[in-house]
Chains A and B, each alone.
Chain A
Amino acid sequence: MAEPLLKAVDIDKSFVGVHALKKVNLTIMPGEIHCLAGENGCGKSTLIKVISGVYAPDSGHIEFEGNSYQKITPMQAIDAGIQVIYQDFSIFPNLTVKENLALNMELASKKKLVNWKEVEKIAREAISKIDFKVDLEAKLGDLSVAEKQMVAICRALMFKAKLIIMDEPTTSLTKREVERLFKVILGLKQQGIATLFVSHKLNEVFEISEKYTILRSGELVSSGSTADLDNETFTYYMTGRRFEATHFVPENISKDPIMEAKGLSLAGSYSDVDFSLHKGEILGITGLLDSGRTELALSLFGVEPATGGQLLVNGNPVKFKTPRDAIHSKVGFVPEDRLSEGLFLPQSIADNIVISEIDKLRTRLKTMDFPKRQEEVNRWVKELSIATPDPENACLTLSGGNQQKIVLAKWLACDLDIMILNGPTVGVDIGSKHDIHAILRTLAAKGMGIIIISDDLPEIIENCSSLLIMKGGKIVKQMDMIKEKPDEKAILGYMM
């Protein structure tokens, strides 16, 4: 029986008021592809930081290739062959690719002067390890997200890595890029390098990993071979709940469309877009990253105003030149990066909730009507069960799940007819994902028209009553999801 590459034994770790890891065990064999899964806040990041030496465990120890360590420093971890690629890749956007690749080695060699020839040599060697072709002189900030990730991986490989830890590596990648990443991971396996990657995306876990470890609330729930696992069990281990994949069936679709697009176009992004959205519907818009789907969503909210064609709301032609125009026509928008684009974390929960309708909460003299504001705030805190002792506290003090609720609360408070959500569950764990979908279905049932822009096919299949598939800036297929009941393959076929 081969010796494990890494063994984390009974790791226990607490922080200010939080017991982050409760006697967690993790075993990785050499060359293994292992997935670490769990909902947000389950302790995945903490475990990684303990393994890589950023945190010292309160109790327990780490064994690496048979050697036992009570406490490990980041330098020791690197020497042992552990490399971590964080979600932000730890890169320098203002430096060139070759410098990013060589920097860590240069620092490790403790030299004072820079030998640019040496830098070039190191960089060429690095990219050859996974056969990655890139312009070494380019500034890293000019590269795409996927390319940046490749650079980060190349850099990690420079240190004779035996284990590469990737934290949520596929978050910003397109389908093609994810496939490429998986090829690279398999290539690493062939070179005997193990990969531990953190993810909560079911399909990825099953597609690429051989073994899994699932944490929930700091405890080890289950670990084993992914071959022995199925979707339902996996979800159950992660959330402690069982979810039924139900398909959304709209109840009362209005006769007349609430929003219509005729020949809508935005130069350079999309053209000839026709669709109609009815009350009670959930319309999905999908496509690859450059299909124009994001730009279309932004046009429907006035962030990137359309340059041609017509948009009608309730039968009346409208021009959305700014988000204010859209809100005026009762359209709301939840951006993909919810926390930084949809919320004002340091400001009060109350302000976050009322901001988009704030002008309606004024007295006749145009000063703030505070009692009215208070009423609104209390109403929404109650309706969405937001856990807070005082709505005047900063939004920062809320848990992640509650923060997501505030994003929705803001729009619900505006009494909208149409809600557009860009990537509604990107970065959200399974439990919260189901909650959000449930809320959307309720809103549709109450008579709103909902548009979801997403490339999460299961999400689309389960939640949309109709679907637009975009490719190269045009709509290539419209589907009635209820009648046609397409599967992922069919949709993908149109997308590519």
Chain B
Amino acid sequence: MKKPLTSKLSTMYRNDPHQWRLVILMIVWMVFMALTRFRKFYTLINFQTMSSQFPEFGLMALGVMLTMITGGIDLSVVGTANLTSILMAFMMIGATDASGSMSGGTIILAFLLAIVIGAACGALNGFTISKLRIPPILATMGANELFSGICMVMTNGNAISKFSRRYAETINNKLFGLIPVQLLIFAAMAAVVWFMLNKTSYGTKLYLLGTSSKAAWFSGINNTGILMKTYITSGICAALGGMIMLANYNSARADYGSVYTLQCVLIVVLGGVNPNGGKGKVSGVVLAICLLRMLETGINRFPKISSYYISLIWGGVLILVMVLNYFAERRPEREIRKMQKKQAAKA
């Protein structure tokens, strides 16, 4: 009875080795935490904290993931997020009456407008990359400067915060007292992206375009259309991320989240997305986010270890996973060679 399970597991492992390596690391860490800080780590509050902080950059990471699958990248997610949150902060200030209250409808309107702004920012990137043929690193980097610059001009470097508290309260609310609204927003967007990748023709076209844009063109794929769609979606994800930041900080500034850009790329690569394009799964990215959040919050439970070590750990885990991949890729060859030696010895 044991055989089928282990062989089933090993086929699953072989199909998605990267994902499973992340799961294993996660399990190792969870066990470690269970042994050392069980009471402090395995609490409902801790899990709620973990899950409420990651929607911010988790959303941006979804966008970066999509763009990376095309073989490009989106370094403008933070600029887009800040631009969106600042614009919406202004809008909500206008919608807040003297007593400091604001209608619920305004919040919905804010989200709808945020999507439009994100789409517009993404469209700029899509245009510069597909029509002007600027390399994605440079195009999105330039766009990020531009968006951040516009944010600066609009705010003069100040934080915008004089809008109704209702916004932050709504977004920081917990549905049924348990599930943070933010997490639901992230889950919804992750589901949308998952659907796009796995249940629509866009997904297949995206992966193939990422593998070879020339072959894609020759196969009749509308490269420009796919790239536009991708960067627009990334823009929307970033904009939603900005809206979450707006709730978490209850204010908007031109320079919030500046570390997120590189962190998103890190999460995405850790999640198994190939920077050269053509490969990547939502599940991988979600796993990567979970793993890193668990590491972070776990480390926080060791007050002797400064939270600054987080950076060290993020970087270290990334390099570790890549080195593991490097050695793992060479294993099948060695195994076959061993088999051959055995056969030669028998003969």
Contact = CB atoms under 8 A, between A and B. Distances in A.
Q: Do A and B contact each other directly (Cβ–Cβ < 8 Å)?
A: yes
A109 to B, nearest CB: 35
Interface in A336-360: 340-347, 351, 354-356, 358-359
A368 B215 contact: no
Nearest to A366: B200
B278 interface: yes
Contacts of B222: 322, 324
A333 B207 contact: no
A405 interface: no
Contact of A344 (B212, B217, B340): B212
B220 interface: yes
A344 B215 contact: yes
Interface in A274-307: 301, 303
A241 B217 CA distance: 38
Nearest to B224: A322
A211 interface: no
The interface centre, meaning the residue of A14, A16, A326 with most chain B CB atoms within 10 A of its CB, is A16
Task: Name the interface size band of chain A.
Answer: 20 to 34
B204 A355 contact: yes
Nearest to A359: B201
A362 interface: yes
Contacts of A362: 200-201
Contact of A342 (B203, B204, B215, B336): B215
B124 to A, nearest CB: 23
Contacts of A346: 211, 278-279
A304 to B, nearest CB: 12
A303 B211 CA distance: 19
B219 A340 contact: no
Contact of A351 (B204, B333, B337, B340): B204
Contacts of A356: 219-220
Interface in A348-384: 351, 354-356, 358-359, 361-362, 366-368
A362 B218 CA distance: 21
Contact of B208 (A344, A366, A368): A344
Interface in B324-347: 333, 336-337, 340
B133 interface: no
A410 B215 CA distance: 12
Given A343-B215, A344-B211, A346-B211, A367 B221 contact: no
Nearest to A392: B15
Contacts of B279: 346
Contact of B340 (A16, A322, A354): A16
Given A17-B336, A346-B278, A355-B208, A340 B201 contact: no
B8 interface: no
Interface in A361-420: 361-362, 366-368, 410
B333 A340 contact: no
A128 B250 CA distance: 76
A429 B217 CA distance: 27
A335 interface: yes
A335 B219 CA distance: 10
A342 B222 CA distance: 15
A322 B221 CA distance: 9
Nearest to A410: B219
B229 to A, nearest CB: 13
Nearest to B207: A347
B222 to A, nearest CB: 6
A342 B219 CA distance: 7
B218 A16 contact: no
Given A16-B333, A341-B215, A344-B208, A323 B199 contact: no
B214 interface: yes
Contact of B207 (A303, A323, A351): A351
B217 to A, nearest CB: 6
A346 B277 CA distance: 11
A390 to B, nearest CB: 11
A280 to B, nearest CB: 25
A327 interface: yes
Contact of A17 (B211, B278, B340): B340
A421 to B, nearest CB: 12
A366 B219 CA distance: 20
Contact of A347 (B201, B211, B340): B211
Contacts of B214: 340-341
A277 B263 CA distance: 57
Nearest to B195: A367
A251 to B, nearest CB: 30
Contact of B220 (A327, A341, A366): A327
Contacts of A322: 222
Contact of B278 (A324, A341, A347): A347
B205 interface: yes
B220 A324 contact: yes
Contacts of B215: 340-344
Interface string B215-249: 11111111000000000000000000000000000
Contacts of A345: 211
Nearest to B336: A16
Contacts of B207: 347, 351
Given A17-B336, A368-B199, A340 B218 contact: no
Given A16-B340, A344-B212, A361 B201 contact: yes
Nearest to B199: A367
Contacts of A326: 220
Interface string A110-142: 000000000000000000000000000000000
Interface in B274-300: 278-279
Contacts of A351: 204, 207-208
Interface in B153-171: none
Interface in A440-472: none
A258 B278 CA distance: 37
Interface in A10-51: 14, 16-17
Interface string B179-213: 00000000000000000000111011101100110
A355 B208 CA distance: 8
Contacts of A301: 218
Contacts of B337: 16
Contact of B218 (A341, A358, A359): A341
A194 B319 CA distance: 50
Contacts of A16: 333, 336-337, 340
Interface string B76-101: 00000000000000000000000000
Contacts of B333: 16
A256 to B, nearest CB: 26
Nearest to A362: B201
8 contacts: A16-B337, A16-B340, A17-B336, A301-B218, A344-B208, A347-B211, A351-B207, A355-B204
Given A341-B214, A355-B204, A368-B200, 8 more contacts: A16-B340, A17-B336, A303-B218, A342-B215, A344-B208, A344-B216, A346-B278, A356-B220
